[in-house]
Structure 1
Amino acid sequence: MMIDAHIHFDQYAESQREIILKEMSLFNISHLISVSTSLASCKENLTLAKKDKRILPAFGFHPEQVLIDEKDQIHLFEWIRENRDHMVAIGEVGLPYYRNKEKGLQYQPYIDLLEQFISLATEIDKPIVLHAVYEDAEIVCDLLEKYKVTSAHFHWFKGDKHVVKRMISNGYFISITPDVLYEKEIQQLVHQYPLEQMMIETDGPWPFEGNFFGEMTHPKMMRTSFEKIAAIKQLSFEAVSETLYENTKKFFRVE
């Protein structure tokens, strides 16, 4: 069995959603953790989840975009609190590493917003799904430690060995995308990170290269990721798939 630990299901075209939902059982996919990027995205994911119980929504605000003003932030946080019983996590939240690299941003407002999300995760007792790579991960670790948050999931993570060791020590989870098939940086991360703190994802509809070039990103792609992780870890496919499935169920409290 497989759970896609990080997918933007609301961003797929309706016809693509229908294909994925129809084929989930065929490829032994039990659930999709559908993360949100804005209040509108949160609402769409909630609507999708009410139509199909296999869709488990996370509510948040993606950092790689222009910040909303204080009034809209308050509205978003109020909405999340009101709908806490319909979500499995806070997410996707974090810091805008790529946008900052391109444009050069004033970072403190983004850090302040992330701190509010971490505080909220503590307040409503939910795990948190993070977009935090390279040097940003150090800032995020500082905030997580400040609030004593351990249920943290760094999706599609990249970073140096020092921060990886810190994340492992703190019990944080990572998730691996299909680019593990062709990206040496991700393969090295899989080699270093404990299987017991790992999940698997697609980040769909984000497209992939290699064998998947030109294809719609589908959760069925995760099977090849399992195979590659098993090869790197020198473990059986069954051991890897079972461990990562149970990890994801436990992290997101999936029954």
Structure 2
Amino acid sequence: MFVDSHCHLDRLDKSPEELAEVIKFARNRGVEHFLCVCVSVTDYPQMLDTVKHFADVSVSCGVHPLHQEDACSYEDLLAMADNKDVVAIGETGLDYFYSPDTKAVQLTSFIDHIKVANALKKPLIIHTRGAKEDTIALLQQYKAPETKGVLHCFTEDWDMAKAAIELGFYISISGIVTFKKALELQDVVKHIPIEKLLIETDSPWLAPVPYRGKQNQPGYVREVGEFIAQLKGLSVAELAQATTQNFYDLFAVKRTN
């Protein structure tokens, strides 16, 4: 059985009935749990309402680095995330590739998220692009020793992955790994210890081959898992078992199956 460790169910262009069919399709393909990740505290209540009927969907709370127009204070984030249904803080992080102009507010927001994760003893979900040095440096400076997390939709190099793993973080791989030109990422995946690996869709974006160009959905995490299993010389069952257990270990989610 698989887990989609990072998706945005509230961002799928689906009616409530269609979303239920999307979840059913994923379950029928062996996906047993879904982590719906928050990108904006403004949309957070609506996200909770979207997924509240699904017992196998967990949620996070945070502000994506590209949504800094929705930035909130440390105190407000702490209050919203201090909820038994919230299993992680984020997604947070730094993105200097798409938004170097908001670097200052991104840095402040990221530090606040790290501190909230420390205070609530919940893991961090981190988006990082074009900001390797600052991402690792801020984690080294502000993260409590017991705070864990994941670098999601990872596309950086092995040096960064290794540094994050040494800090107790997992590395999550999306459908990008299946793209023909993702040779460097494929090489990185070969080096990631299986006990530190997660898989995800990041749906509705980044659909894996053979669905590239279509709206992504959690059921397609199977293709991500199958591709990575082949890369690492594992059976699909071995890859699924390891990444699923890693998910439950990191997020302390109660297994529904």
Partner residue, 1:20: 22
The alpha-carbon deviation at position 106 of structure 1 amounts to 4.6
Separation in structure 1 between the aligned mates of residue 208 and residue 244 of structure 2, nearest angstrom: 25
Partner residue, 1:142: 137
2:62 to 55, 60, 63: 60
SS at match of 1:67: helix
Separation in structure 1 between the aligned mates of residue 74 and residue 229 of structure 2, nearest angstrom: 44
2:149 to 120, 139, 152: 152
Are the aligned partners of 1:48 and 1:55 in contact in 2 as well (CA < 8 Å)?
no
Partner residue, 1:162: 159
**Cα distance change on mapping 1:188 and 1:211 into 2, 3 Å:** same
Partner residue, 1:9: 9
The alpha-carbon deviation at position 138 of structure 1 amounts to 2.4
**Cα distance change on mapping 1:179 and 1:161 into 2, 3 Å:** closer
Q: TM-score, normalised by structure 1?
A: 0.89
Aligned residue runs from structure 1 range 69-148, under 5 A: 72-73=72-73, 76-81=76-81, 83-100=82-99, 104-134=100-130, 136-146=131-141, 147-148=143-144
Separation in structure 2 between the aligned mates of residue 232 and residue 22 of structure 1, nearest angstrom: 28
Are the aligned partners of 2:27 and 2:219 in contact in 1 as well (CA < 8 Å)?
no
Q: Structure 1 stretches of 5 or more lacking a match? A: none
Partner residue, 1:245: 244
Q: TM-score, normalised by structure 2?
A: 0.88
Separation in structure 1 between the aligned mates of residue 167 and residue 213 of structure 2, nearest angstrom: 38
Separation in structure 2 between the aligned mates of residue 187 and residue 167 of structure 1, nearest angstrom: 18
Separation in structure 2 between the aligned mates of residue 162 and residue 207 of structure 1, nearest angstrom: 24
Name the aligned partner's letter for residue 165 of structure 1. K
Q: Which has the higher contact order (CA 8 A, sep 6+)?
A: 2
The alpha-carbon deviation at position 64 of structure 1 amounts to 1.1
Are the aligned partners of 1:196 and 1:243 in contact in 2 as well (CA < 8 Å)?
yes
Are the aligned partners of 1:176 and 1:199 in contact in 2 as well (CA < 8 Å)?
yes
Name the aligned partner's letter for residue 5 of structure 1. S
Are the aligned partners of 2:195 and 2:246 in contact in 1 as well (CA < 8 Å)?
yes
The alpha-carbon deviation at position 224 of structure 1 amounts to 1.8
Separation in structure 2 between the aligned mates of residue 74 and residue 247 of structure 1, nearest angstrom: 29
**Cα distance change on mapping 1:78 and 1:169 into 2, 3 Å:** closer
Separation in structure 1 between the aligned mates of residue 225 and residue 78 of structure 2, nearest angstrom: 38
Separation in structure 1 between the aligned mates of residue 26 and residue 19 of structure 2, nearest angstrom: 11
**Cα distance change on mapping 1:167 and 1:66 into 2, 3 Å:** closer
Separation in structure 2 between the aligned mates of residue 117 and residue 253 of structure 1, nearest angstrom: 19
Partner residue, 2:205: 206
Q: Structure 2 stretches of 5 or more lacking a match? A: none
**Cα distance change on mapping 1:248 and 1:209 into 2, 3 Å:** closer
> Which shows bigger deviation, 236-245 or 166-175?
166-175
Aligned pair 1:174/2:193, yes or no? no
SS at match of 1:144: helix
State the number of aligned residues. 248
Separation in structure 1 between the aligned mates of residue 47 and residue 102 of structure 2, nearest angstrom: 30
Separation in structure 1 between the aligned mates of residue 50 and residue 75 of structure 2, nearest angstrom: 21
The alpha-carbon deviation at position 185 of structure 1 amounts to 2.6
RMSD: 2.0
Are the aligned partners of 1:174 and 1:197 in contact in 2 as well (CA < 8 Å)?
yes
The alpha-carbon deviation at position 79 of structure 1 amounts to 4.0
Name the aligned partner's letter for residue 21 of structure 1. I
Aligned pair 1:31/2:26, yes or no? no
Are the aligned partners of 2:151 and 2:172 in contact in 1 as well (CA < 8 Å)?
yes
SS at match of 1:64: coil
- For residues 147-200 of structure 1, give each alpha carbon's deviation from its aligned partner in whole angstroms, at most 9, with x where no partner exists: 235412100112233222212222211111122122213211211211110101
